Amino acid sequence: MSQAEDKTATLLATLWIKVRPLVEERLNTLDQASAAASAGALTDEKRKEGASSAHKLAGSLGMYGYDEGTRIARQLEQLLEGGSPDAARLSTLIAELRESIPA
C-alpha cells in the first residue's frame, strides 16, 4: 500500500468512527419500521422514514467500501418504497445489513 493509500485508509477509518453513531441511528429507524410492519401497524410516515434511512445508508456505506451493506440497503429502500412490505423479508434484510457492517 502506498503512503497516499495508507493515509486515505486511515482517514476513512477515522471518519467511520465518527459516522458510526449515525449509522446506528438509521439502523434503529429501520428496526422501528420492521417492528411496525410485523405488528401490522406500519404507517406511511414510518415507511417513508425507513426508506429514507435505507437510502442514506446505501450511499454512506458505499463511500466507506461496504458494498454488501450498500446492496442490502438498496433492497430495503426498494422494499419500503413499494408500499406494504413483507414484514419477514424486511426483518431478514435488516439482520443481514447489521451483519454486513463492522462494529
DSSP three-state, residue 42? coil
DSSP three-state, residue 86? coil
User: DSSP label at 65?
Assistant: T
Cβ contact 57:46 at 8 Å: no
Q: What is the pTM for the complete model shown?
A: 0.89
Q: In this structure, what C-alpha cell is assigned to residue 64? A: 466507506
Counted residue by residue, the chain has a size of 103
Q: In this structure, what C-alpha cell is assigned to residue 5? A: 493509500
Residue 48 is predicted with a pLDDT of 96
Q: In this structure, what C-alpha cell is assigned to residue 102? A: 463492522
**Structural domain spans, the chain:** 21-100
Cell 485508509 found at: 9
**pLDDT tens-place string over residues 32-88:** 999 999 999 999 999 999 999 999 999 999 988 899 999 999 999 999 998 889 999
d(CA 1, CA 23): 28
